[in-house]
Every structure is written in structure tokens, then in C-alpha cells.
Amino acid sequence: MASIYDLGSLTIEPQEEANVSAIIAPILYSDSQDFLKKHNLVTGIDKKTQIVLADGNGNSGWIDSGCTPPESGGMGLDFTQLYWDLKTIGDSKSHCQADVDQNFKMIVKKFASDHTNLEGSPAVMQYILARLVTFIEETRERLAYLGDTAAVLDTNAGYIKTGVDIRFYNSIDGWWKQIFTAVGATTTPRFTVPANATATKALQLTLSATAGYDALKGMWDKSSDLLKADPKAYFELTPALYWNYNTYLSTVPATNGGFTTAIVDGIPKMAYMGKPIYLSAFVGNKILSDMQILTGASPVVATYNLPNRGIFTTPENVPFATLSDSDIKKIESFYYQKDRVNIMRYAFDMDVKVLRPALISVAY
């Protein structure tokens, strides 16, 4: 008699794959409000799709009288272009059937409504789907923010920590890589966070009492008037700066101009100059866990790679592109009976852009 915990027969058929994809896609895209409030979603993009940006400049408008229409020559139109370059991102997971039988026993029982008969239970599939969504969401956020096609390990004068597989980061150039390039070209303004330049990891995370406020004010002061006026503009801070500002708010009068905190639906919400402030927790923690710079010869000193960061921009300026928001490119799950191995795979397309470097202000 087959074990009730035997998941060897659990596979996803082609039609089920389509259903699974249709279930996961809205969670990742249209229903992902935390993501969409910060980034526009662009779909229907194929490889090397052109992005045309038009900028008007100069003055126009003279008095119009007589038979000859005016032509001032001041109606300038400048066109620039970028290209979406979608990359297919994917991964697989294989595990021995015997491991599944034992390791999934308790989680299956937790998710199943009928603990006595789990054969064919949807509880296992619910668990797998939930984990698959988490894996894809974390992949999307890690690459979108921290992707760097030129990433190098710390032992080769780079910043990816030895022991971390560099392929987790070198698929695309994410928003921060594009930001660093734009700051170097002086097209994106930067406020310098002093703690980032200190000599040890501990000192880098030991912030002054006003560090969070200073970063927000610095980004605001350096930003363009167009960005300040954008009703969808927002700030995003890595954890140390975010919680530093949260603590700072508790020490100053609520009427002090420019910054506020409020309780909305029982959840504290922070703002600066009326613009919401979001916590970049996952990205901040990835910087701490996966990135460091080695300095000195003997002894070698390791410091974080700019652990305290902030962004001030608008969703339209930092879009995320994919082929479709209605499905995932590939969802596969199958079982090799000979080797008693379950295999799960996913794949999706993505690219990100900073469209107008002048309409973003950063701190690091």
C-alpha cells in the first residue's frame, strides 16, 4: 500500500501548468501592490524593443499678424532612445522522493484539511505554489535592484562576497547599477551618507541620530522641481536609514515642517514633504548578506558595499518590463520514477530601466 505521504505521483500536467501560471502571474504582477506602487509594469515587451524619449526645450510663441505666420525657431524637440533587453530568468529544484516523504510530512499535515488522507490533497500543491511565488518574487526584486552584468567577486576587487554565486546577480543591470552610472555622469544627483565611508561594518551601521532625516532632506534638496511636484513620487530607504528616521520622528514635535508619521489602518506610515517613505527591507538585507569590499593587505578588512541607501523617484521613471502579466513563461513539475526525484522549474522574462536619470535623486 502506498504511503499517504508519498508524493511521487504529484505532477503538474500541461493544462495544470497553464492554470498554475495563471494563478501565480496575478500574484506577481497585477495583485502585487507593494511592487506596483513603486514601479510601473510594462508588458508586451519583446527583446530589443525601442523606448523613445522626447524632450521639448526652448521658448515659443510670437505675435501672429499679417500674412506671414511666425516661425521663432524655438520649438525644439530632442529625441533619445533606450532599448528593453529582456532576459529569461529561471531555476530548477530537484529533491529525492525519500526526502520529500519525510521532510514534507508536517508541512503537508499543516496545510491539509484532512490529516488522515493526504493522497491527492491540494495542500501539497498550495504549499509548492506559495514557495514558488516567494522564490520568483525574491528573484525579481534582487535582480531588479541589485543586478549587475559586470559583477565581480570581492577577491577580484569586486563587491560580491566570496561564497555567493555571482550568477545570482549578473543577469541584468538593475536600477542601482544604472543609478551609479548616472551619478558618475552627473546626471543623477547624490547625497552622500557619511557612515558608508567608515572603516568597519559595525561603524557603517552606527548612524547618527539624524542620519535618516539628513538622507531624506539631502535627496529632496538635490532633486528637480519636476520630481518634487510629481504626485506619485516616493522615497525608499534601506532598513538602517528607515528605522533611524522612524526613531528621529519620535524625538521631534509632530508639527515640525516637512516630515510626518501617521497611523493608517493600524499601520504606521511615514512621509517627508508629503511623499511616502517605503522600507527596502529585502534589498537592504541582500546588501548585508551578499556584498562586501575587501581593503588592506594584512589584515584584510571587509566592509559592506554602501549599506545605507535611499531613492527618491516616481514609478514612471523606474519601470519593470516583462513579456506578459497574464502568465509565467514556464512552470514545470515532474517526477522521475527511476531515480525517485521530483523536479520543479520556472522561467520568466524581465528587464528594468531608469528612464530619466535627472528625475531621480539618491543617497548612499
Q: What is the pLDDT at residue 334?
A: 66
344 beta partners = 93, 333
pLDDT tens digits along 265-311: 666 689 999 999 999 999 999 999 999 999 987 889 999 999 999 99
Range in 36-45, 57-66, 136-145, 333-342 the model is least confident about: 333-342
pLDDT over threshold 70, residue 18: no
Cα dist. 31→24, 199, 313 in Å? 10, 42, 22
Instruction: Quickly tell me which residue has 517613505 as its cell.
Output: 277
- pTM reported for the whole predicted model: 0.80
State the average pLDDT over residues 348-360.
94
Rg (C-alpha) for the chain, rounded Å, is: 25
Phi, psi at 205, each rounded to 5°: -100, 5
Quick one: pLDDT at residue 3?
Answer: 41
CB atoms within 10 A of CB 259: 20
CA 207 to chain centroid: 24
Q: How many CB atoms lie within 10 A of CB 105?
A: 14
Distance from C-alpha of 364 to C-alpha of 188, rounded to nearest angstrom? 12
Specify whether the CB–CB gap between 123 and 116 falls below 8 A: no
pLDDT attached to residue 94: 76
| Mean pLDDT lowest among 159-173, 222-236, 242-256 | 242-256
131-145 core/surface letters (b: 16 or more CB in 10 A; e: else)? ebbeebbebbbbbbb
Which cell is 13 given?
500536467
Question: Does residue 191 sit in helix, strand or coil?
Answer: strand
Grid coordinates representing 297 are 593587505
Amino acid letter, 227: L
Residue 236: helix, strand or coil by DSSP?
Answer: strand
Contacts of residue 342, defined as CB under 8 A and 6 or more positions apart, other chains included, come to: 7, 8, 10, 94, 95, 97, 100, 333, 334, 335
- Residue 109: its pLDDT value, please? 58
Residue 57: what pLDDT?
62
Angle value at C-alpha 348, between 345 and 354, nearest 5 degrees? 145
pLDDT at 324: 78
Would you state the cell numbers that stand for residue 121, as one nine-digit string? 490533497
Beta-strand (E) ranges in the chain? 41-42, 49-57, 76-84, 87-96, 190-191, 234-237, 259-264, 267-272, 275-279, 293-295, 301-303, 310-313, 320-321, 330-336, 341-352, 361-363
